[in-house]
Structures are given as C-alpha cells and as structure tokens.
Structure 1
C-alpha cells in the first residue's frame, strides 16, 4: 500500500502565533480585516486569533473580530469600515490582515484617511500572498511554507501516476508557519497620509 501525504498549512497557528507576537509587542486592540470569509482556513485563523486573545486575558471584541470581508468591498465601504474602527473610543492599534492583497488595500485606505503606518497604527499580515513583500510595511507577517506544500503535492502526484490503481493510504501533515518581524527586514516602508478628512 502506498501512502499519499496531504500537506496542510497550520492555519490555527497562523492566527494564534501572529496574535501572540502582536500582544508581546504591546498591542491589546487588534482589528481583523478579511478577504474571503467562507473557507475553512479563515475560520481556523480566526479561531487561533481569538484563542490567543483569551489566553492573554484580552476581551474579544465582536466588532474587531467580525468575520466580514474587507478586501472585496468597494472603496467607500472599506473607508467607512476603517473610519468606524478609528472613531471608536479605544481604536485598534494594529490591523491584522488576511493576506497581502488585503494589506495593500488597508495601507492605501489608511493613507487616504491621513494616517501614518507605522506611527498612528500598525499593519500585520496573516499570509504573504500578495502583490509585494509584506515585511517592510508590517510589524509582523506570516511566511507560508508554499514551496514545501508544492514539493509534497508533486511527490504525491508522481506516486499516483506510477501506481494509479494501487491502494492509497492518506496521511495529513501540518506544516509549520514562520512569523517574520520587522526587526528582521532589510528596509522599512512608511505610509504617510495627507490628513484625515
């Protein structure tokens, strides 16, 4: 019997470890910004995020942890969402973004609202998929083991091609994520807005 290895990213660890890092840096009010909301990986990341908050005795705010899309909203609705966060009596100190595309929108929107990143608010990324390297603009970002996932998937495909009719035992392997911090970046980026309307 051959064994098919399914490599899975530890999405719970993405949410948990990244949130723990933000808490260690002094953040207590963390708002989450999502892209897709109806996939298992997102709910696992949210669960990890919430568990890290609870572990450190931080109240879980339904408004800051709501599983609603940000990335896919039109510009005016994204700006309204950020404005509502920022106008709270105790606004978030960091925006934890689902991926690089969401982070890029958040950086742009914050500049439109006239905020400095970092300075007035921080950005963090749960996923390094996106249009650019997240680290120079974030306090922390998760680096996903994409290469290892691809390598293992190709090995599984090759085994199936060699033995298409044989019995296959499926094994699941959780691949760890790496949390990279701004301290390890070679350069920093700063977003400076013109002034809040």
Structure 2
C-alpha cells in the first residue's frame, strides 16, 4: 500500500500542511523541521500521488547541472558543452536557464542541491561525475530522482551508473566505457613490455574509480593471472587532483618497490605524477612511462605529450542537453554508453632494458 502524506507527518511529528510545504518548496520551514520531514520521506519511501503533483508539475525553464568541481577541466568541458547545447540557435525552442551547482563530490551537498532544485520545480536536472557508492546515499538519491521525475522533471545521469527507478519515468543515463578504456590502456603498457605497473587509483567508494581499476586489473589478469596480485603493492588510492597524483607517486618512491610505468586515474593526477618523477631525477618515458585518463586539452601540450584515454565529454554534454530537454527520446532501457578511445603519445615507451622483467 502506498505511503500517505499523513503517515509522513506522523513519522516527522509535524502537521500534513508542513509536510506539503517542505515537498512543494518555496515556503519558509525551519531547518530542523525540514530535516525531520525529509528523513521521514526517505525512511517511508514516500512518493507523492502523480495526479496531485500534476498540479505543481515542473514547468520551469531552469536546468540544474550538478558537478563535483567546475574548476576541474573534466567538469568544465562537460558543463560548458551541456549549457551551450541548451540554447539551440535558430531552433525555435525556448531558451533554458542553466544553473551549475558545485558539490565538491560530497553526497550531502548533492542531495541538498536536488532538494533546492525540486523546490524551484526545475524542468531538468543533470547529475555528472562519479557516484558515491554508499547504500544509504544511493537509496536517498533514488527516492529524490524518482520523486522529481514523477513530478515532470527530466533527469539525466551523466558519467555515472543508473539508479533503479521505474522505466516509465523520464530518467536517462549516459555512461562512459571507463572499464574498456582502462583495459586498453593497461594492454598498451603490457604490449610495450611493462610488467611492474604502478596505478594511482581514484578515491575509494566512487563508481569511476571502481570501473577504471577493474579494467586495469582485468588486462593484467588476462596477460598473466599472477600480475594483479604482483602489482597490488604498486596501487595507491588517491584523489583526482594534481597534488594527489604528486603525493601518491612520492609514496610509491618511498616504498622502494620498483616500477617502470605509472597509470594515473585521470590526466590531472598524471600531471602530479610527472612532477614527482622529474623531482626524483627520473625521465619520462626513458625511465618511467606515464599515462592518464580523460584526454583533457592540456594532455597534448605536456612535455612529453601524455598517453591517455579520450572520454567524449563534449559529445556527452550535447547528448545530455538533448535528453534533459526532451529533444531526443529516451533510449531503450534508458541507458546510452559512449565509447572511449586510447590516445597513444610520447609519454609511453618500452621499459629500459636494465629494468625489464620477463
């Protein structure tokens, strides 16, 4: 049996009118009261009656774009492409107001922004970047997405896994083949002759980290079933920032475990990797090969140019704009997978003869 608004009110210890004000947004409600109502909604799995919510259906031209950090090139390109595609030149369609929300990758900030956008009856929401793989957050996110979609808001998940909502709701997912890209990148290093491959993984508990690490390890395993375990000591979890790549590489050097290549979770961290190696007197690629991931614009201008995996960020932004405005229908199953591409450049080469292993 469906949960009623009255049951939510009882659980939260407030009146039904207060619950309605919190759900509809735009009304002043004390912070602690709002928190109790939102917690009751999530615990009970309340989704407002579709016919009742139709009276307040999302009709706004507002589109919220949630990013981890707009200063990061990955999110800047994605958000810029998306925002540009929301204003189709000469298309005869109304313009959309895009609002970029910086979450810094914090799950609490993500749900808080979704609450604000729901209160503004946003016509669309695009959530970008790696998802936090925390069951409690996933459940709360799924409920909020389902509730917004049931009210008429189009929701697009871009660069993250889908959430389990009913197929009839306007929720689309655009995913990148991160696993396949990481597999091809590791395969490239193995073909060059590298066996001692260090890996600077992203932060644990993130979908992108899991997918890229899984692809990397699968390539090692296929080449030699013993390689993943042999390289475990050369794997370090760190952030996606340049400083994280730098610190992780210094940690690897302190450990004293020999390696001939470093694969970083993204291009920004790879820049930190290269700085730490040069500081230690190591040449790239003569002594150590370095790879990144994403193919951000600067990766072609580094010295040497960075071998990486191209993630189609601009294409994804344009596609997300089409989906969130309804200019493109939802694909079968609601999921579109965009391919990634290995970009071989000058930062990788065979390992030096003295450091090669069979």
Question: Could you tell me the TM-score, scaled by structure 2's length?
Answer: 0.43
SS in structure 1 at match of 2:217: helix
Matched, 1:34 2:201: yes
1:175 partnered with 2:325: no
Question: Matches of 1:168 and 1:83 in 2, distance apart?
Answer: 47
2:179 counterpart of 1:12: yes
- Report how far residue 99 of structure 1 moved: 1.2
How many corresponding residue pairs?
A: 177
| Residues 1:52 and 1:111: Cα distance change in structure 2 (over 3 Å) | same
Does the 8 Å contact 1:30/1:96 carry over to 2? yes
Is residue 254 of structure 2 the alignment partner of residue 84 of structure 1?
yes
Cα distance change on mapping 1:43 and 1:138 into 2, 3 Å: farther
Cα pair distance change 1:154/1:34, threshold 3 Å: same
* Counterpart position of 2:218: 51
Q: Is the 8 A contact 1:6 1:170 kept in 2?
A: no
Aligned twin of 2:280: 113
Residue 15 of structure 1: how far off its partner (Å): 1.5
User: Post-superposition shift, 1:69?
Assistant: 4.5
Distance across 2 between alignment mates of 1:141 and 1:95: 12
- Stretches (4+) displaced over 6 A: none
Secondary structure (helix, strand or coil) at the match of 2:173 reads strand
Alpha carbons of structure 1 residues 48 and 35: separation in structure 2 relative to 1, 3 Å: closer
Q: Deviations over 1:103-159 (max 9, x none)?
A: 111111111111111111010112224754367635621011111111110001111
Aligned partner of 1:100 among 260, 267, 284: 267
Which gives a bigger RCO, structure 1 or 2 (Cα 8 Å, sep 6+)?
Answer: 1
How far, CA to CA, are the matches of 1:168 and 1:14 in structure 2?
Answer: 23
Q: Does 1:125 align with 2:288?
A: no
Indicate if the aligned counterparts of 1:18 and 1:141 stay in contact, CA closer than 8 A. Answer: yes
Q: Which structure has the highest helix share of the two?
A: 2
Bigger Cα displacement from structure 2, 50-59 vs 124-133: 124-133
Instruction: Provide structure 2 residue ranges, at least 5 long, that are not aligned to the other structure.
Output: 1-167, 349-358
Residue equivalent to 1:156 = 323
When the two chains are superposed, the root-mean-square deviation of aligned CA atoms in Å is: 3.3
CA distance in 2, matches of 1:135, 1:142: 15
TM superposition shift of 1:64: 1.6
- The verdict on how the C-alpha distance between 1:139 and 1:146 changes in structure 2, with shifts beyond 3 A counting, is closer
Q: Please state whether the residue corresponding to 2:319 is helix, strand or coil.
A: helix
Structure 2 SS opposite 1:123: strand
Question: Which of residues 60, 63, 70 in structure 1 aligns to 2:233?
Answer: 63
2:314 is aligned with 1:147: yes
Distance in 2 (CA, whole Å) between partners of 1:54 and 1:8 is: 25
> TM-score, normalised on structure 1?
0.75
